[in-house]
Amino acid sequence: MDIIQAILLGLLQGITEFLPVSSSGHLALGRALLGRDLEPGITFEIVVHFGSFCSIVVYFRKKIWEILTDIFKSFSPSGIRSKRFISDGNTQLSYIILLSMIPAGLVGFTMKENIEAIFLNPFFVSCMLLVTGTLLFSTKFVGNPEKDVDVKRGILVGVAQAFAILPGISRSGSTISVSLFSGMSRQKAANFSFLMVLPVLAGAMLLEMIEIAETGIEMTAVISLFAGYLTSFVSGYFALKYLIILLKKEKFHYFAYYCWTVGIVGIFYFF
């Protein structure tokens, strides 16, 4: 993979990972159109996923530090004595994030082979983009909910994240939409959607790193890998920032038109 390819794939990963247009769906359609040469390879996937991971960490750095600090205080000797680990809001949020991971984990481990087969069906992917578009458009009518994250809402959003394993179903689109439908405020919906994916990305990177541990990394590819990482990180950061701006302005549903367009074109092309 040369530097130009690495930059383009890093840009694709960074933008579509956060914008509600399904990064997996775009990759599946790209493979169908351009051939399997679009497959970046597992080492490159780790690098660009790390770029996405870092962009979330940097954007939400204050909130993440606040959560980690409160968790540390909650499980300190004084925190345990005062039962802070039960009453503290950020510690409770960390519990909910862990619970929200369960549905996606169950689906990923029990249906991995079936899901991988779906990636080869561009017609199905196109249909799922229509579903994503419809889900996004429906958020136009939710108004301005103001409720907090709780266990029930967290698990519900976790189920939405599990469905987003299907290519064409946007993870950010489905989790934010369901958060809004459940009554969460727009800011809290965005915060929870992207904070809950951090452990998922970390777990995925760990599994991929274990898989390549025996093969190693070719030093000749280091420059291309760094270019992919940097592009994914920078583009992901600004895509995330742009998405939250649109969400606050109640324009989240605008992405529906893009998903519908790509989905309809794909259906006619691959039918």
> What is the 8-class DSSP label of residue 150?
-
52/235 Cα distance (integer angstroms): 9
What was the pLDDT predicted at 262? 94
pLDDT, tens digit, for every residue of 69-87? 999 999 999 989 888 888 8
How many Cα atoms within 13 Å fall on the side-chain side of residue 229? 12
Judged against a pLDDT cut of 80, whether residue 91 lies above it is answered with yes
pLDDT at 94: 93
> What's the CA gap between 104 and 157, in Å, rounded?
10
Q: Mean of the pLDDT values across residues 242-253?
A: 92
Taking the alpha carbons of 174, 175, 176, 177 in that order, is the dihedral positive or negative?
Answer: positive
Q: Tell me: pLDDT of 39 over 60.
A: no
**Amino acid 42: pLDDT:** 57
Spacing of C-alpha 246 from chain mean position: 17
Under the banding of pLDDT at 50, 70 and 90, the label for residue 3 is confident
Joined together, the tokens standing for residue 187 give 């800011």
Mean pLDDT of the chain: 85
Q: Which tens digit of pLDDT belongs to each residue from 100-134? A: 988 988 887 777 666 666 666 889 999 999 999 99
Indicate if the pLDDT at residue 32 is higher than 70: yes
Given a cut of 70, whether residue 161 has pLDDT beyond it is yes
Flag whether pLDDT at 26 surpasses 90. no
pLDDT at 143: 83
Tokens for 198? Answer: 């951090």
What's the Cα-to-Cα distance from 74 to each of 71, 86, 100, 196, rounded to whole Å? 5, 8, 21, 20
How high is the pLDDT of residue 129?
95
The torsion defined by the Cα of 26, 30, 31 and 36, in degrees rounded to 10, comes to -120
Max Cα separation, the chain?
64
**pTM for the whole structure:** 0.88
